[in-house]
Chains A and B, each alone.
Chain A
Amino acid sequence: MNVSPPITRKGPGAARIGIGGPVGSGKTALIEALIPVFKARGIEIAVVTNDLVTKEDARRLQAGGLIDPDRVLAVEAGACPHTVIREDPTLNIAAADDLEAAFPGLDLIIIESGGDNLASTFSLDLVDWWMFVIDVAQGDDIPRKRGPGIVQSDLLVINKLDLAPHVFVDAAAILAEARQIRGDAPVIGCRARGATVEGIDQIADTIARELLFQDIPA
């Protein structure tokens, strides 16, 4: 059974959370879906993106009109997405420090990893808490392949639930297997894009409860 230890924040400033997961699993889309939810709740956020070799994700967020472009910084990870969030997270730490200095009222800094494989994890030097995003279209065997991202993350998000019938997988079975593998550690299914979204409020609730210590029932 995987029981997460209590969250301990590193300092008095903004909480820092990581979002990792394979290429194309919907990490940026999830952030785009979360931004208006946080905004409506009065939670001040900034974002650090870790594109592999470009600033694509940062530019997408900056151009999207959802967030002040100055609140988005890109750290080019040099084709080593795991290095910049785990072995040597100093560039990301410096970027988060810069955002915190520029926007002293921040509640939350989201650090989006470049797309990697199931083995990526975040250094706790960098973040207070991290989630791992996979999607149903990657196959229904992803949770049982385990990997540190699946097992060790504070929250596992299974995205693109709406695609399940189109790729011939059973979304409910994937969620059930993921929950069985992770024990008490949370799993949330979601749909981050489209006419209607699903699971986004639940993810925001989890972050607000665990990181910002808001009184939201589990």
Chain B
Amino acid sequence: MSDALSLLRLLQCSDSAFPSGAFAFSSGLETLVNEGRVQGADDMARLLEAQVIPRWLEFDRPFLRRAFHAEGPEALLDIDTTCHLQNTVERLATASRRIGRSLLTVHARVGTPGAEAYRNHLRAAALPHATGYEPVVQGMIGAGLRLSLAQAEAGALNTVVTGMTSAAVRLGRLGALDAQSVLAGIAAAMAEGLAGTAPAQPGAFAPLIEIAAQRRMAGQISLFAT
């Protein structure tokens, strides 16, 4: 695939208008905002650099890479199952599955190679509460769209980071322009992380967002599902 064509497909899939259901999740940010731990652009930049980006690089990234190289639905299902077993933060795992399955639905409808086959495989496996994780689907989709691995990784990390800043705007802790400043400021850290070697085994330690996501109280009035 030509560089321009793959770049255009990457831009399409990374666009905030691309439907994935991600708008409904804040990955613990809402709790942190409600508790006063994230109050503005500086806090947001620190949260992204210290928690969100490292968690993606160390946990999601290895699964995306495995899925990118996987051959066929059965191999993808094995990766998905491993992702489920290692995903110890229940609310973040649920969000990841819901976004991943939404992405799969969209790509199956638009005809991305491999998406329909994997969706049917998951339906046959009948494990909706244990499969369809976002990084697995992103890796499979990246390969199906014939993106480079580096493009697929950059697109996935960008989706996570822009999703968090968008949530901060809706929570009233960032203005829309502030959010763009935060994104511009954090881009170097994202690039540096992507340039580093991916861990062979997934594993993450991001207690602030992980515990915040779990701490959301039942019955609490929230703008986001996490």
Contact = CB atoms under 8 A, between A and B. Distances in A.
Given A77-B24, A84-B24, A97-B105, A53 B19 contact: no
Contacts of A93: 102, 105
Nearest to B22: A88
Contacts of A77: 24
A78 B171 CA distance: 11
Given A79-B170, A94-B102, A53 B221 contact: yes
5 contacts: A78-B24, A78-B223, A78-B225, A93-B102, A101-B126
Q: In the complex, which of the residues A75, A89, A90 has the most CB atoms of chain B within 10 Å of its own CB atom?
A: A90
Interface of A: 53-54, 75-80, 83-84, 87-91, 93-94, 97-98, 101, 125
A76 B225 contact: yes
A87 B225 contact: no
Interface residues of B, number: 24
Interface of B: 17, 19-21, 23-25, 98, 101-103, 105-106, 109, 123, 126, 128, 170, 219, 221-225
B102 A90 contact: yes
The 4 closest A-B pairs by CB, nearest first: A90-B102, A78-B24, A88-B19, A91-B21
A173 to B, nearest CB: 38
Nearest to B223: A79
Contact of B21 (A53, A94, A98): A94
Contacts of A83: 23
Contact of B101 (A79, A87, A94, A125): A94
Contacts of B103: 90
Contacts of B109: 125
A90 B106 contact: yes
B24 A98 contact: no
